[in-house]
Amino acid sequence: MERVASPVDYTEDELGLVRFGADGLVPAIVQDAGDGTVLMLGYMDAEALRRTLGTGRSWFWSRSRGEYWCKGETSGDRQWVRSVHYDCDGDALLLVVDQDGNGACHTGARSCFYRSFGSDPSGPAGGSPARE
């Protein structure tokens, strides 16, 4: 399926409602638009958020690598942003996306949250534990 990027409309007033932390970052939950699976959590600074809204692709700030990354640009597991929500306090974001490829996780699992307490922690199950 060939997907296309759709930039998200936004105003500076809306951007002003987002409260970035002392480190300049805000957590961004990524949810599958199709079935609601929670795929991953990343972090955005103001520039990553602007890039996400402006391009319709998901951009994050990598805390470990200290650089911007566009999800799937190297792996092919791209995310096509359908809507971007901010919470009541403005200190968390929710991206609803169409997910390309196998999924969001670098392990090959569809969701990064493939492990749960009380289960066998031996490795990725590939499925979506949150929607069982």
126 token code pair: 């590939």
Task: State in angstroms the smallest separation of the CB of 48 from a copy of itself.
Answer: 14
48 token code pair: 């990553």
Q: Which is nearer to a copy of itself, 2 or 95 (CB)?
A: 95
Cβ(55)–Cβ(7) under 8 Å? yes
Cβ(28)–Cβ(60) under 8 Å? yes
What's the rounded Cα separation, in Å, for the pair 112 and 35? 16
The rounded radius of gyration (Å) of the Cα atoms in the chain is 15
Task: State in angstroms the smallest separation of the CB of 100 from a copy of itself.
Answer: 18
What's the rounded Cα separation, in Å, for the pair 56 and 51? 8
Query: For residue 93, what are the β-bridge partners?
Result: 28, 86
Task: State in angstroms the smallest separation of the CB of 78 from a copy of itself.
Answer: 18
Task: State in angstroms the smallest separation of the CB of 61 from a copy of itself.
Answer: 14
Q: Which is nearer to a copy of itself, 1 or 88 (CB)?
A: 88
Q: Which is nearer to a copy of itself, 2 or 89 (CB)?
A: 89
Q: What are the residues binding a copy of itself (CB under 8 A)?
A: 8-10, 13-14, 17, 27, 29, 31, 35-38, 40-41, 53, 83-89, 92, 94, 96, 105-107, 109, 112-118, 121, 124, 129-131
